[in-house]
Structure 1
Amino acid sequence: MKRIVCFHLYNDYSGSPKVLHMVLGGLIEKGCRIDLISSDGGVLNELDGSPAFRRYSYSYRFSENPLIVMMRYVWIQVYTFLFAFRYLFTRKAVFYINTLLPVGPALAGRIMGKRVVYHYHENAFVKGAFYRTLSWLMQHLAHEIICVSAYQASFLKRKEGVTVIPNALPRDFVARLHPNIPAAFERKTVLMLSSLKGYKGTAEFLDLAEKLPQYRFLLVINDSRENVDEFMRKRYPGAGSRPANAAVYPRQNDVAEFYGRASLVLSLSDKTKFIETFGLTALEAMTAGLPVIVPTAGGIAEMVEDGRNGYRIDVQQLGLIAARIDEILSNPDLYGGLAEGALSVSRKYSAEAMYDGILSALA
């Protein structure tokens, strides 16, 4: 039985630990033994209870003070570097490093002659010098680097030992999606999951609702109710000025039901300010049998072929996006073809394919 020693810096409920939770669960199903070294208190705690899983925790939290953040980070790297040597005499132990941040155990793994595999989720080259330094270290320490998209991998100077394994959706989430193409077409509803960051296209989505009053628009903003209400008050200060065809929701624990209310899903991220390394919402939409409109760059663009499962259009061409929405939602034959294409493409991103790919990279 393969022993996988996994290091992840901060165990919370954000994207990378959620993906790791899914991956480790799948690897346990495939007969692997997992030792996880991470902070306490997040989604990874939910793996406790399996006889093939052991978790070692440390205390780690963020601070508003950058100096304190860096001091804590350095201390955890020293701690996990030393902790890693408990596996010095463990045969066939593989060090699985999730994200760029756990550099200490990666270094220890190379010193001990262990296989070191990084799962690279972020794009260091659009961040600061600190992340670019971590990327340089990763490219020198890793035997294998798992990237989530070809776009992300294209930034690495290293080309050997780089594998693209796209993310997948948890099986329980997929089970809550119920594709019904004729019913979805009749809903005439456009959905977007976004945030209040300016480059995510939230304001432009509301512009589209105003341009297309014949359709319904659902916007789910990953923020608190208070912040969402404040944003809407600033945008529509006058009574009755909000578009009647738009409904806006704050952060949701489960977004599956929203795909069941939609016909079409948008991603309006501004590629001049932010590029998605992977399009999770696009994959969720396609798995629900919904066509998508996404930007023309990034990992999210790799998932879409114009006219097959949606369209790639940048937010700067808002008039063209509006025209495409109208064309898709007024033509049942076009809609049906795009929706079938979305379902077909989504099957390439199965959880089983992701587990097999990662297991192969760890071998």
Structure 2
Amino acid sequence: MGRDFASSVLAVVRDRAGRRRWRWAVIALVGVFLCACSVKTQEQKDMEAALARLPGVQQVSTEIEANFSTVVVLTGDASAQQVKAVIEAFREQITAATNLPRRRVDIELRWPERDSSFKAGRDGLATAPEHAAQWYSLSRAFPRDEVVWTYQWAEFCCDAFGPGDLVQKGYTGVGDISVKPEAEDFRAVSATYRRMMGEFPEFADAEWEIGAWGWQGGLLRVDNRYPSETELSVWHRLNQDQSVPHSVQMTTRTEGRHYPQRPSIVMRLRSQNFDEVKRLTEQHIPIAAELGAPDVDYFATTDGSRSYDPDHELRITIGGCQYTDRPPSPAEQPFVDRYGKCPR
């Protein structure tokens, strides 16, 4: 088959020698063909065979890049016990594989036709089955939302940064949990947190993020606990006045954590009018100050801005010293004078 395919390709090249676009089409076709014929390692074959035969499993795939990664698509009627069994079988296969003792590995479970997922790395495999069952309960309780749970997962990122750049997620408490409510509305964020607090108090020590519908979407991020009533109130009031449509990304901080150093609020207007940025900032800064932290970072920008532009953005540290990478802009200075405090 491979010889016939290659002959056909060469014939097309000869027949179309004068047409550059056909050459590129042929090259692309050959690339697709070669990729389709890539050979899997014995470890990949063994892993896929071992997991594919388990009840509750619809599909298994593996990939070797930075990590030895396995993705398992569950059946729609898979049980919590079957979910645990998949993680346990993966762990047994990794332990038995003689060629994978030092490689970073991970497994990701997904529901069919849904974006909810659970991912665990090698460091968390001993306790991952129980957390996978918890993810099962959580994703079943929020079937219309995207529930993503990451537990003790790590990989080396981007060769350009060097071999020591290890990206890690889910090493705090029960891991990182993010939820994107189906309703793209700030009220859905508050409602989801309140329901979590009532129905799943045991997940409080996760790194939480609820919201985020794209780069400009709103979110409320809290680490190692659920948000306080004050934080939920601040979140609600920062979003409530949508006379100028905007999104809010609010990140709180727990004492003892190194990052973020302080609470931060990022407001993105769906407008190019800088006067509206200044007007909303006047309204928002007193509300943000209610978070009660010694200082709070507040950043407001017009639509589409991704880098600093003094004619479109405001950056103020409420209650503390300003960042020293640049002096305050003329538009920021009045806010700094009123709301910044920095001992000389």
**What is the TM-score when the length of structure 2 is the normalising length?**
0.26
Structure with greater proportional strand content: 2
Considering only CA atoms, is the larger Rg found in Structure 1 or Structure 2?
2
- State the structure with bigger RCO (CA 8 A, min sep 6), 1 or 2: 1
Structure with greater proportional helix content: 1
